[in-house]
Structures are given as structure tokens and as C-alpha cells.
A and B are shown apart, each in its own frame.
Chain A
Amino acid sequence: MPDDMNATPEEPTRTSQSVPVADRRNLDADLVGIATEPGVPKKDPIVVATKITRTFGGLTAVDVEHLEIQRGVITALIGPNGAGKTTFFNLLTGFDQPDTGDWSFNGRSLKRVSASRVARLGMVRTFQLTKVLSKLTVLENMRLGASGQRGERFWAAPFRFLWSSEEDAITVRARELLGRFKLDAKEDDFAGSLSGGQRKLLEMARALMVGPELVMLDEPMAGVNPALKQSLLGHVKSLREDGMTVLFVEHDMDMVRDISDWVVVMAQGKVIAEGPPESIMADQRVIDAYLGAHHDTDITELEESVLAAEVEAELLADHDGDNR
């Protein structure tokens, strides 16, 4: 866990709509000059996955030939519904086992490593459908995240003096994070009483209690209101500034454009493209598979009226056709 949590400047991340491209590029110098084809090797990969396949009955959900995730940057994983993004997340984090393939984290193979061990190694995930522990308080949710607690051992647990000082230190750290995520006023509430967006924040904050090197967020923006979205964006960016690597699945293209340094596109279980966000948004294969032709143009009022007129004309024509 980085010590300078409070040193992170809140202002710029909260106010800016998007980080200027120039700023971002000096953060990820490692990605400059990398070819933008699927499976391209990175300079300093934290995750390397090779020939990962997972089938459910006759359906091949994931079939990734090769993928490397660069350390210290924010990588987005996008793709249409059913592309296998969440399944790929589950496979990488040990929540599901692939049929074939090998993958490593920090050079250590994760084949047949349990999900809890993967988390302890420093690769911590959140879930698409948030999993907060509703009947525990917000603060207890946070405390649970801390790794290697002495009081978690059966023989030490009944004796409070063995773990109380450690618990105090964990509580301090938990409050610090809750403050950063604007949940400090809620610490004594049951987590089940939080709103959907607050649950997302709590889940992310709790994942940070583990002290991860790689944070994997599964649709962090789903169901979050626009105001909260801005602060979530800031939090994700601050993770990178604290030296963590972030891999996230998201459908919100504004977010992808805003904060990711690198984008990986999946469709039908395969990685079909990867590269910096600007080039990915212009990639014809990605547009065909996922974004659609009108993805970056807002529909103007004029266009809208034209469209409406077209629809009306079609309906009239149909009506005439029926009458004839």
C-alpha cells in the first residue's frame, strides 16, 4: 500500500473532464512505439496470458491467443455483450479454470492457483454485480479487506490483546480510504443500506485494503450517476498515480476515452484489436464489432427531425401497402 494516499491531489482529477493527451503520454512512456496488433508484447508486462480457452458446452466463451497487460498503466477491456470479458476476468483471477492455456502474474504462473491465493499475490478484482456484505457495517467491510491479520487465526482470535493493536492500525487505514471515497459519514451503517453507486465505491475501496498491485474492475461505472461517475474516474486515475496497474471492463466509452492508456477489444471470445484509445476508436474492425458507425457523433436536432420524417414516411408507406 502506498503511504502517500493523502498526498494525491484531488483537485485536478475531480475537475478535469479528460486528461490532456500530452499529460497522459508521459505517464506511459512504456507504451510508446508498441505496435497496435492483438497480442503484441509489452515492455514490462504484469500479466501474460497465452492460449487461454474456456468452453461452456458447445460455446467457446474465451479463446485468447496471447495477451500482455503493461505494468503501471490503465488498460480497458471492451467488447460487445457476450464477448467473454467477464469470463476472462474470472479465469485470470482463479474464479473459473480454463480448459487450456497458461497465464502468469509478475512472472509467477497462476495455473490452478485458488482465487484467494491470487488475491493475496496482489491481483484483486471487483464484481460486475457488486458484492458488498450487507449485514456488516461499512467499516467492517473495509477491515475484512486487510490481508494477513493475526486475529484471523483461530487460536489467536479469542484473545483480544493479541490482535487489538493490529485492528486499530487497520481501522486507521480503512477510515483514510473511506474518507478518500467520501464514505466516511457512512462507516457505521450496514453496507446493505448503501445506494448502488456507493456500493461500487465501497467495493473498490475494500479491494484497495488488500494492498493490490493490479486492480481489476468489472464495469465500475454500471448504474452510477453522472456526478459520482466523475469522482470514480478520479479514483481510478489516482490508483495509477499510486503505482497500481488497473485493468477494467467497461461499456461507457467516455470513461474508456478519458482514463485508459491502452484498450483491448474482445469479440466472440477473441482479442480482435488493441492499442491506444484514439487509434482503437478509429479502427474499422472495432467499429464494426462494437462501436457502430455513429459512435462518436451525437445526434443533432436537425438529424433527429430528418430521422423522424423518414420513419414516418416508412410507416405511411406500410399503411398504404396494407390498404391496397
Chain B
Amino acid sequence: MDLISTPLHDAFSPYALSFVFAAMGLNVHYGYTGLLNFGQAAFAAVGAYAMGVAIASFDLPLILALIIGLAGAVLLALVMGVPTLRLRADYLAIVTIAVAEILRLIFSTSFKKYFHARDGVSGFTAGFRSINPFPEMPDGFLSFSRNDLWVMTVGWILVALVCLLVWALMRSPWGRILKSIREDEDAVRSLGKNVYSYKMQALVLGGLIGAVGGFIGGMGLASVQPDSFNTDFTFIAFTMLILGGAARVLSPAVGAVLFWALLSFLGVLLTKLSNGDNPIIPASFMSPDQVGNIRFAVVGLALMLLMIFRPQGIFGDKKEIAIDAR
């Protein structure tokens, strides 16, 4: 039973939700506009920390804390975008990955009064939990706590709303410009569109979505720690996006759920197989302590096979890949 319930639990958990938002933001950046943002973790971190510190240290109401978080994400997008979006695509990639690391180091070493170094920020969830409509449950559902269910309900409703917004934007002439920039920005420029401005709008929008992921993740874990926003965060979100298929509205959400389900399933399975007195997988080959790392290796293999046999991802359009001459 664990083989089904644990993956289900993990795939829809608040922690997975924060990756869904990160991947949805990357879908706007990379999938639709072709912007290589390798610092999506920074947007989630700024959202989570701004919310956490605003409530825990300054006692601001939740709604104001969220607005500060979103404003922080906009500011971060401007800081990253102003110097780089006029340049070749590579520069944005370099700057974003550097900014994300710098921010993580600042959060873990500086302003300890507010950020509390590696312990992270906590004690900011009371306001959000006080409006939880779910009743006290003895065992919960899929062993989710009452608080988790509340975060997940809000989170998945927000995922649906963001998907709706992305869908509405990308069928519009605005979305057409983004997709054209992904193909060839000089062509778009020659037709009189301000490419710089549209790239900036895309960067801000995807960053805001990433910051919401920071809110949800922070509320779900009831704390915000710097190490959860390392570069792995960004690259796992990218993996989820590619798995689902870039430039499709639902692909980040489906990709994230599948990724976590697969990872969690492998964890449970490998643990079962390698545990006990006479394990199916002998200890000389793999011990139970190594499950955490081995499952990532297996997922990596699965992704390689996916890229070979279905390079467009689950939802992608084969035709769009096939005509790419470059």
C-alpha cells in the first residue's frame, strides 16, 4: 500500500507545490519566451523570505507580507533583467545563477537578526492557519495534517488560476510576441516590437509565479531555510518542465506531480527491496542508506530515455521539434 499512498502523498504535498510554481514560472521564461533563467530559486527565496520576515520580525498582516513578497520578486526581475536582456541569451543565464547563489549566501550568513542564518525564519504561519476552514481530523486524508490540507487547497486553486492566466495570455497577440522572440528576436524587432520590454514583462511574470511558490512552500513547511533554495531547486524545476513538455500550459504541473511521484515511488520500492534479513537487492550492491541517491540516478536514467524517445516531453508537439533545422 505504501507503494501507492506515499507517492500520492508526496506528489501533491505543499513541498511539491512550490516546485509546480517554480516550473510554471520557468515555462513562461524558457518555454514561451526562450529566456534561460537558471536562478528561479532566487524568486522563490525572495517571496518566502519577504513573507516570513515581514510577519515574524515586523508583525505585518499576511496580505501586506504577500504584497511585499511579490514586490520583491518584481524588483529582483528588474535587477536581473535591466543589464542582461539587451544582451545575448547567455548573459541572463550567467547573471541569474549568480544572483540566486548570492541571495542564498546572504540569507544564510547575513542579517542574522532577521534571517536567522541556517535555522531560517519561522513563526509566521499563525495568520494563515487561523483562517483554515478544515475541521480537526484524527487521521487526516492520505495522512495529511489539517494544516497541510489547507495549504494544498489554496495552492492547487492558485495553480489552476495561474494555468488559466498563462493560457489566456499565450493565445493572445502578447503571447504571440513572446513565442516569436523565442524563435528569432531580430525578426520581431524588425517588425516594430520592443523586444526588450516584452522580455522584461515575461521575466517579471515568471518571477512572480516563482515567488508564489515560495509563499506556498514556506507555509507548508512552516519555516524558510536558505538551503532549500540552492541551485538544485532550479534544475529540478527545469527537469519537471521538460518532462511535461515546454510551452504547454499544463505541462509544469503534470511534470512536477509525475516527477515527485516517480521519485517517491522509487524511494519506497528500493527501501523495501534492500531492507530486511534477506533483501532482494544484496547489501553488497546497495544498502538502504544509499536509496536516497540511487533513486535520483534511476530518475536521471528515465529522463535520458524520455529525451531519446520523446524529446518533446509528455505534452509537447512533435511537429514543433521536427522542423527545428538548427
Q: Which residues of A contact B (CB under 8 A)?
A: 93, 95, 114-117, 119-120, 124-127, 131-136, 140, 143-145, 147, 149, 151-154, 156-160, 163, 167, 190, 192-193, 206-207, 209-210
Contacts and interface: CB of A to CB of B under 8 A. Distances in A.
Interface string B167-206: 0110111111101101110111111111100000100010
Given A133-B180, A157-B168, 9 more contacts: A116-B194, A131-B187, A136-B176, A136-B180, A144-B188, A157-B169, A159-B168, A167-B173, A209-B191
Given A131-B186, A152-B173, A154-B201, A145 B320 contact: no
A323 B307 CA distance: 63
Contacts of B174: 151-154, 156-157
Contacts of A126: 190
B193 A95 contact: no
Contact of A190 (B180, B201, B323): B323
Nearest to B204: A154
Contacts, number: 114
A151 B177 CA distance: 10
Contacts of B195: 116
A144 B189 contact: no
The 4 closest A-B pairs by CB, nearest first: A192-B323, A157-B174, A119-B192, A151-B173
B131 interface: no
B165 interface: yes
B277 interface: no
Contacts of B168: 157-160
B325 interface: yes
B191 A158 contact: no
Contacts of B113: none
A14 B171 CA distance: 38
Contacts of A163: 172-173
Nearest to B323: A192
A95 B186 contact: yes
B324 interface: yes
A135 B323 contact: yes
A124 B191 contact: yes
Interface of B: 165, 168-169, 171-177, 179-180, 182-184, 186-195, 201, 205, 319-320, 323-325
10 contacts: A143-B176, A144-B173, A152-B172, A152-B173, A154-B174, A156-B172, A158-B168, A158-B169, A160-B171, A192-B324
B207 to A, nearest CB: 14
Determine which residue in A93, A147, A152, A193 has the highest number of CB atoms from chain B within 10 A of its CB, and name it: A152
Given A116-B195, A163-B173, A190-B319, A127 B190 contact: yes
A119 B177 CA distance: 15
A152 B187 contact: no
Contact of A135 (B173, B187, B192, B324): B324
A137 to B, nearest CB: 10
Contacts of B194: 114, 116-117
Contacts of B182: 135
A25 B149 CA distance: 81
A156 B174 CA distance: 9
Nearest to B173: A151
A190 B193 contact: no
Contacts of B175: 157
Nearest to A203: B187
A46 B185 CA distance: 27
B192 A133 contact: no
A193 B320 CA distance: 10
Contacts of A160: 168, 171-172
Contacts of B189: 95, 114-116, 119
Determine which residue in B165, B186, B188, B191 has the highest number of CB atoms from chain A within 10 A of its CB, and name it: B191
A135 B190 contact: no
A149 to B, nearest CB: 5
A279 to B, nearest CB: 33
Nearest to A158: B168
Nearest to B195: A116
A206 to B, nearest CB: 7
B71 to A, nearest CB: 17
A163 B165 CA distance: 16
Contacts of A120: 192
Contact of A206 (B171, B183, B191): B191
A160 B192 CA distance: 23
B323 A116 contact: no
Contact of A132 (B171, B187, B192): B187
A204 to B, nearest CB: 12
A169 to B, nearest CB: 12
B319 to A, nearest CB: 6
Contacts of B323: 134-135, 190, 192-193
Nearest to A114: B194
A202 B216 CA distance: 47
Contacts of A190: 319-320, 323
A151 B178 CA distance: 13
A140 B191 CA distance: 13
